Structure 1
Amino acid sequence: MASIKQREDGVWRARYRDEVGKEHARHFALRRDAQRWLDEVAAAVVTGQYVDPKAGRITWDEWTREWMERQSWAMGTHEAAAVAVQSVPWREGQISSVKSSHVQAWVAGESKRGLAASTIKTRLNYIQMSFRAAVADRVIATNPALGVKAPRSRRAEAAMRILTAEEVREALDAADEFRGFVEVCVFAGLRLGEAAGLQLRDVNFLGRSITVARQVQGSTIKAARIVAPKYESERTVYVPDELMTSLAAHVTRAQVTAPDEQLFVTPLGRLWNRNNAAGEWRRVRKDARLPDEVTLHTLRHTFASNLIAQGCDVVTVQRALGHSTPSITLNVYSHLWPSAEDKTRSATASFMGEIRDSADSVRTETEKPQVRGSRYR
């Protein structure tokens, strides 16, 4: 129900009731402006884009707080989302006042601050998710983050750092009591949290395998806690005798005896977490004279690189790394597999080698000197 009436002062009052019976009204100097407003409202209702004008008055902080409380996320995901939504400059403003240009300007600002393109992309993803949820709940009519793009990331082959055998050796020599932690990252491909979550029962010394059944989440000693691994990351990694021997020596040295006892703890007996493990790695990196770009996650890349170099297929690598799908593995490591050109060249070279060897063999047989009969009969 909608109507337009002129008041005694000459102002035109347009009003309508929404689907729940709530009345909305605006005043205009001209009747045609009042009619245009009502037509826009009617069009929004017909197209399903209508929202209560007052709904968008909620601030960004208020909306994202409500939105995040409804999500069934792991703690790490919740922390990442919180960092993202709190990094924008419109936190105290009404969500309906945010424009696409504001979001794009924020992206540009994050890039100028020196944030990695991948980090900006992750944060933008959470911003876009929050706006999409606001549209779905009819808090706002349109998503201002739609179409906003993050800076382009460097190509994987240029950005990914793989350690050489000598660099790994230097890191292990510098690790001291942190050596076991480093070894399960570089020789079993465990993530930081997965290595921190390992317990004695997870290591099958006779079967030469490590089971990833839990991980440590949290960036501080107070926040750190043991939780289930990332989605579909539970797995068994098959490792060589040398790693088992090294871990057995660590268990003896650290006097780890109970099955549910943590395999690796800090010198003060606390859980390793994102901050203190990264801090310890920085010490190792400095002592080993490795560049700053080498992180603990570089060890996992090095593990994957070695599997691929040894001829492992994508599914084998996927399972060893705990990726949910082979496509994730390919997205990250496709550049490490031999290209079609490499395979064609190698296959043809092998074929040519066989032909050459065969020809040489025939030629040798043909050119053998004939043994003449003796002149003495």
Structure 2
Amino acid sequence: MAVDDLWYLSRRDPVTDERRPSKRHGRGKRWRVRWSDPNTGETRTALFERKAEAERHDADMRSDISRGRYIDPRAGRLTVAEYAEQWRAQQLHRDSTADMVERAFRLHIVPVLGLLPLGDARASHIRGWVKATTENLAASTVHLVYSYVKSMFAAAAADKLIAASPCVGIRLPEIGDRDYFVPEPEQIHRLVDEIADRYSPIPYIAAGCGLRGSEIFGLELDHVDFLAREIHVRQQLKRMPGQPAYLGELKTRTSRRTVELPEVAQLALARHVERYPVREIAIEDRTDPRNVHERRARLLFLTSHHRPLHRSNWSTVWRTAVRRAGLPAGFGLHGLRHYFATLLIHNGAAVKTVQLALGHSSPMITLNTYAHEWPDALDRTRALVDSALGARPTGVVSEARS
């Protein structure tokens, strides 16, 4: 490492012993700092106008290299958009998650932060981005998108592209209580009456078994045990934009489960199979990432053209039925899953029971979503304590001290 004066030659005049000016004397920055990159061994340089600045930079480089904290100044020149592409490519995301992350960066992150060099990013930039994003997105979505930004900058710091992440001390909008509509039984029956006949068991499966929409669309005939009155959830039907539908892994490890089949859903399914005999179709099976292959599947629900159901071709069918049934606009199939959960809770089901029935990855997710559905929990707690300790008689304290 060294600090060079570029305005003068290093060799002095042999006669006068004075330093001779170089060809660039009086032009450009005068002081150059040279050091060896400890990671690659390549020579790095930086130019400064003042000697004091150059010496300070030289000292910083020496200190960072000796302490193992060296960051190549050129690494931080990568823009957020450029590094985001690298970061996303390295993540072990499932297809649906990868698609969601890609859309988050493309729609909400890159338009604001994309041109910013990584090394120039400061907490003030992130705070400004959060404020701007909060004006257009729900608080829960801001939290989700911010988690991608934070993970990306943490990776950049771990890769020593930047000295530290700017995502420090960032205040996010508070997430209010989730307000979702839970239908009455009569409304569910009306929804069944209004939906296309070939899909009529779907609301009963969602409301009576708690399955996600993609899990229902991925059901095969062999997954239903009519005698034992059980449904074995083993896969889900997924579709990425511009690609054919396929059978994929379930959302979480605990999503693989066996749920009880209530009579109303059992009868609806039996009638459905009788009226719409199951046909085999060819579909790609990605349930095991190590063995992706095409196979014949006997899906319970297909379109009238014998194609798999997915969000795109299902949405119009569902919205029409919701409107005709008089349910709130925007009410989704997931709302029937909420019905199932609240039905269990209000009839005394424990958190763990609800978690397993819904296939949540942890009880905490169940609690975070449905904590307010256990309204009598505090009353039961008070009753248990009162039953154990009773009421302390008046005068016990004074008598004990006398």
Instruction: Indicate the TM-score class for this superposition, using the shorter chain for normalisation.
Output: 0.7 to 0.9
Partner of 2:328: 291
Q: Which moved more, 1:284-293 or 1:306-315?
A: 284-293
Partner of 2:207: 186
CA distance in structure 1 between the partners assigned to 2:131 and 2:34 by the alignment: 41
Q: Note the C-alpha offset of 1:264.
A: 1.0
Superposed CA RMSD in Å reads 2.5
Partner of 2:153: 131
Q: Note the C-alpha offset of 1:220.
A: 4.7
Give a deviation string over 1:211-259, Cα, whole Å, max 9, x none: 1100122255734221111121111111212211111111111111669
Partner of 1:366: none
CA distance in structure 2 between the partners assigned to 1:287 and 1:70 by the alignment: 46
CA distance in structure 1 between the partners assigned to 2:258 and 2:214 by the alignment: 16
Letter in 1 for 2:85: R
Letter in 1 for 2:2: S
Q: Note the C-alpha offset of 1:343.
A: 1.6
Q: Note the C-alpha offset of 1:76.
A: 0.6
Q: Structure 1's 175 and 45: CA in aligned 2 closer, same or farther, altered over 3 A?
A: farther
Q: Is the 8 A contact 2:209 2:262 kept in 1?
A: no
Q: Is the 8 A contact 2:95 2:240 kept in 1?
A: no
Q: 1:54 aligned to 74, 89, 100, which one?
A: 74
Q: Is the 8 A contact 1:278 1:296 kept in 2?
A: no
Q: 2:186 aligned to 166, 175, 183, which one?
A: 166
Partner of 1:357: none
- For the residue of structure 2 that corresponds to 1:72, the secondary structure is coil
Letter in 1 for 2:150: Q
Partner of 1:17: 36
Q: Note the C-alpha offset of 1:293.
A: 4.2
Q: Is the 8 A contact 1:220 1:276 kept in 2?
A: no
Q: Is the 8 A contact 1:174 1:284 kept in 2?
A: yes
- For the residue of structure 1 that corresponds to 2:378, the secondary structure is helix
Q: Which moved more, 1:41-50 or 1:172-181?
A: 41-50
Letter in 1 for 2:78: I
Indicate whether 1:333 and 2:352 are aligned: no
Q: Is the 8 A contact 1:219 1:273 kept in 2?
A: no
Q: Which moved more, 1:147-156 or 1:127-136?
A: 147-156
> Which of structure 1's runs of 4+ aligned residues deviate more than 6 A?
345-350
Q: 2:164 aligned to 142, 163, 166, which one?
A: 142
Structure-2-length-normalised TM-score: 0.79
CA distance in structure 1 between the partners assigned to 2:259 and 2:189 by the alignment: 22
Give a deviation string over 1:259-317, Cα, whole Å, max 9, x none: 93111122222222223323322112111121124222111111100011111111111
Structure-1-length-normalised TM-score: 0.84
Partner of 2:293: none
Indicate whether 1:255 and 2:296 are aligned: no
Q: 1:97 aligned to 98, 120, 129, which one?
A: 120
CA distance in structure 2 between the partners assigned to 1:241 and 1:77 by the alignment: 35
CA distance in structure 2 between the partners assigned to 1:17 and 1:318 by the alignment: 56
Q: 2:267 aligned to 245, 249, 263, which one?
A: 245
Letter in 1 for 2:119: S
CA distance in structure 2 between the partners assigned to 1:300 and 1:221 by the alignment: 28
Q: Note the C-alpha offset of 1:48.
A: 4.5
Give a deviation string over 1:21-71, Cα, whole Å, max 9, x none: 222222223222112112333444455442211112223333222222222
Q: Note the C-alpha offset of 1:348.
A: 10
Indicate whether 1:153 and 2:175 are aligned: yes
- For the residue of structure 2 that corresponds to 1:267, the secondary structure is coil
Partner of 1:6: 5
Indicate whether 1:201 and 2:217 are aligned: no
Letter in 2 for 1:104: R
CA distance in structure 2 between the partners assigned to 1:43 and 1:186 by the alignment: 64
CA distance in structure 2 between the partners assigned to 1:81 and 1:316 by the alignment: 31
Q: Is the 8 A contact 2:99 2:240 kept in 1?
A: no
- For the residue of structure 2 that corresponds to 1:16, the secondary structure is strand
Identity %: 34
Q: Note the C-alpha offset of 1:94.
A: 3.0
Q: Is the 8 A contact 1:220 1:275 kept in 2?
A: no
- For the residue of structure 1 that corresponds to 2:195, the secondary structure is helix
Equivalent pairs counted in the alignment come to 347
For residues 29-40 of structure 1, what are the structure 2 equivalents within 5 Å?
29-40=49-60
Q: Is the 8 A contact 1:219 1:274 kept in 2?
A: no
Q: Is the 8 A contact 2:230 2:259 kept in 1?
A: yes
Partner of 2:101: 81
Gaps of at least 5 residues in structure 1 are: 351-377
